[in-house]
Amino acid sequence: MKILDKFYEGKAKQLYRTEDPNLVVMHYKDDTTAYNGIKKAQIANKGIINNKISTIIYKRLMALGIPTHYVDTLNERDQLCKRVTIFPLEVVVRNIIAGSMSRRLDIPEGTKPINTIYELCYKNDSLGDPLINDHHAVAVGAATYDELKVIYELTDRINNALKNIFLEVGVLLVDFKIEFGKTSDGEIVLADEISPDTARLWDVNTNRKLDKDRFRRDLGDVIDAYLDIYNRLQTLK
C-alpha cells in the first residue's frame, strides 16, 4: 500500500492518504497535550505504545462484532484505517467520577455513581470542545437523532466490552472518550484511538493511575504507566 500525502495533523496523530481513496494511514506521534493544548510535551515512544494498545483493543472489539475503522497495523506507528467522515463529537463515558465531572459538580474523584454517565462534547477547538447535549448536537448539525441512537447503542456495547477487557488485567475503566465516523457506504463505526491518552485507567488494587493523568498532573512515570497497560493487555487470552 503506497502512502501518499499528509492531509490532516492533530495533536497526537497524523493522517495520510493512500492509493485507495477509501483507506488512510493513521500515524501515532509522541506529542502529548493537555488542557486544550496549553500543556505540551514529547514523550519518547508514547506513539508506539499507544498504537500497540489501541491495536489490541480494536481487535478485541471487532471480535465482539463492533464496527470500527480499523483495517491493519502496518508498523510501530502506523495503522491502516477506513476513511471516514468523523462526527464532530467526543463521546465520553464515565463509570467512576473523575476529572472534569468531579471538578464541575464538586464530587470527590473515585465516587461510583448509581448510573453510567454519557456526555457529548462538540469538537471545536476555538470553542474549547464544549459540553453539549443531544439536542445541541442535532441543532449544530453534528449528528441526527437517528445517528445519535446508533452512536449510543455502540457506545454502550463498547463500554461493557472495555470494562471486561480491562478488569481481566486488573484495571478499572474509570472513564474514556471515543469518536465515531461514517464510511463511504454510510456505516457508523468507531474511529480514532483507545489508549491511556483517551481513557482513565486505575489499578484495581491500588488505584494507581495508569493513564494521561500522570502527565496532566505531573505525577511522573508516564511512559512506565502506558507500558504497564500494554504489558497487561498482552497477557489477555
Which residues contact ligand UDP (rule: CB under 6 A)?
A: 90, 92, 98-101, 129, 175-177, 198-200, 212
Nearer to ligand UDP, 135 or 217 (CB): 217
Nearer to ligand UDP, 63 or 105 (CB): 105
Nearer to ligand UDP, 4 or 41 (CB): 41
The answer to whether 181 and 85 have CB atoms below 8 angstroms apart is yes
The answer to whether 200 and 213 have CB atoms below 8 angstroms apart is yes
DSSP annotation of 111: P
Residue nearest to ligand UDP (CB): 99
* Least distance to ligand UDP, CB of residue 37, Å: 10
* Least distance to ligand UDP, CB of residue 226, Å: 13
* Least distance to ligand UDP, CB of residue 216, Å: 6
Question: Which three-class secondary structure state does DSSP give residue 177?
Answer: strand
Q: State how far the alpha carbon of 145 is from the alpha carbons of 120, 154, 187, in Å.
A: 13, 14, 15
Nearer to ligand UDP, 55 or 95 (CB): 95
* Least distance to ligand UDP, CB of residue 107, Å: 12
Q: Compute the distance between CA of residue 153 and CA of residue 143 in angstroms, rounded to an integer.
A: 14
Nearer to ligand UDP, 69 or 177 (CB): 177
Nearer to ligand UDP, 67 or 99 (CB): 99
* Least distance to ligand UDP, CB of residue 198, Å: 4
What one-letter code names the amino acid at 62?
M
Please, what's the b/e burial string for 155-190 (b: 16 or more CB within 10 A of its CB; e: otherwise)? beebbebbbebbeebebbbbbbbbbbbbbeeeebbb
* Least distance to ligand UDP, CB of residue 187, Å: 23
Phi-psi sector, 9: left (phi>0), alpha (psi -120 to 50), beta: beta
